[in-house]
Amino acid sequence: MGDPAGIGGEVILKSLPELSRKTIPVVIGDSHVMGIVAKQLFGSNAPFFNNFKDGGTEGVEFIDLGLIEEVQFGRSDPKYGEASYKYIIEALKLLFAGEVSAIVTCPINKKSINSAGIEFIGHTELLAHYSGVKDYVMMMANRSMRVSLVTIHIPIKEVPHALSVEKITKTILITHNSLKTYFGLERPHIKVCGLNPHAGEGGIMGDEETMIQEAIGVAQSLNVNVEGPFPADTLFHRVDCDAYIAMYHDQGLIPVKTVDFYRTVNITLGLPFVRTSPGHGTGYDIAGKGIADPSSLLEAYRIAENMIFINQLI
């Protein structure tokens, strides 16, 4: 369910009737919050959503952790951060026990998580930690393009120092392998962004492109179909590859969200399981108002289903 004070409960309830039913959704959260949202959205009758405490309704399983007795939508609070964390841990327990096939996470609030004494920046880092994975990649994807990020949630001034041949190479390789394993692409085509304007223009505007080129060379020697580095300002105007590699957060997220904001999905590559998430945040400004758009969650669920089925076929 993500942050109880965010739009997670709302987009889940709006999404449930629209899911494909090729799989059975298991919702982990709090019945109190879901009940408030259900009444707001569907009125006092809401028959499809009235049985949360009994374990769910037909075709939907619901696990009520009972952590939230009252909620103030749109506000950060340590108790909401702790609840968000425990929802994720419950999902991991089910996953590692073989009872579910993938995790689709609704957004969490980093301030609430950290104020609860939980020292993770976000979902991605938390899931990687409990999976014992050190090398993972954040990919943002929609039906038009896929973009993997070399660095994620760090200040812009730290990006050049965080880049290395090894890190860029790993991002390329993890993206390549995931495109084959979970997207069914036999020989994926990948293009890589430079860091500096005009991809450094031969060192005039920066020399980080030297290490990017070296990383590309390493990946090419391993038979990866990858090109670059290209100037990022012109690379995304025509989608002519299977995935892009961006050096930092906004370099990759601006184009992918501009192309299709409402259906952009966060996919964590490199984990030993499928994990997707809506591409938006907790929506504190609209939480509790009944106006949240469930499109990104629906797309995250659809992509998770497809990744599971493709992986089973390969």
Cis before 17? omega within 30: no
Q: What is the pLDDT of residues 188-224, one digit of tens each?
A: 999 999 999 998 888 888 899 999 999 999 999 999 9
pLDDT of residue 43: 76
What is the amino acid identity at position 11?
Answer: V
Tell me whether residue 205 is exposed, middle or buried, using C-beta atoms within 10 angstroms of its C-beta: 0 to 12, 13 to 18, 19 or more. Answer: middle
Confidence band (pLDDT; 50, 70, 90) for 94? Answer: very high
Report the C-alpha gap between 148 and 139 in whole angstroms.
4
Q: What is the pLDDT of residues 220-270, one digit of tens each?
A: 999 999 999 999 999 999 999 999 999 999 999 999 999 999 999 999 999
pLDDT at 93 > cutoff 70: yes
pLDDT of residue 44: 59
pLDDT of residue 55: 52
Class of domain 1-132+273-314: alpha beta
Q: What is the pLDDT of residues 123-145, one digit of tens each?
A: 888 899 999 999 999 999 999 99
Percent of the chain with pLDDT over 70: 95
Report the C-alpha gap between 56 and 27 in whole angstroms.
8
Report the C-alpha gap between 246 and 74 in whole angstroms.
32
Report the C-alpha gap between 191 and 78 in whole angstroms.
41
User: Where are the domain boundaries for CATH 3.40.718.10 in the chain?
Assistant: 1-132+273-314, 134-270
What is the amino acid identity at position 251?
Answer: Q
Report the C-alpha gap between 28 and 170 in whole angstroms.
33
pLDDT of residue 124: 82
**Long-range residue pairs from 35-39, CB within 8 A, at least 24 positions apart, any chain:** 36/9, 36/71, 37/9, 37/10, 37/13, 37/288, 37/290, 38/13
pLDDT of residue 239: 95
pLDDT of residue 209: 94
pLDDT of residue 303: 96
What's the chain's average pLDDT? 92
pLDDT at 68 > cutoff 70: yes
Considering only residues 58 and 243, tell me which one the structure prediction assigns the higher pLDDT: 243
For residues 149 and 249, the answer to whether their CB atoms sit within 8 Å is yes
pLDDT at 48 > cutoff 70: no
Confidence band (pLDDT; 50, 70, 90) for 52? Answer: low
Q: What is the pTM of this model?
A: 0.90
pLDDT at 71 > cutoff 80: yes
C-alpha gyration radius of the chain = 20
pLDDT of residue 50: 53
- Strands lying side by side in the sheet with 102-104: 102-104, 274-278, 265-269, 137-141, 146-149, 243-246, 189-193, 225-230
User: 299: part of which helix (H) or strand (E)?
Assistant: helix 295-313
Domain covering 134-270 in this structure, CATH number = 3.40.718.10
User: 269: part of which helix (H) or strand (E)?
Assistant: strand 265-269
Considering only residues 112 and 54, tell me which one the structure prediction assigns the higher pLDDT: 112
pLDDT of residue 205: 86
Average of per-residue pLDDT across 159-184: 97
User: 61: part of which helix (H) or strand (E)?
Assistant: strand 60-64
Average of per-residue pLDDT across 49-55: 53
Report the C-alpha gap between 43 and 36 in whole angstroms.
10
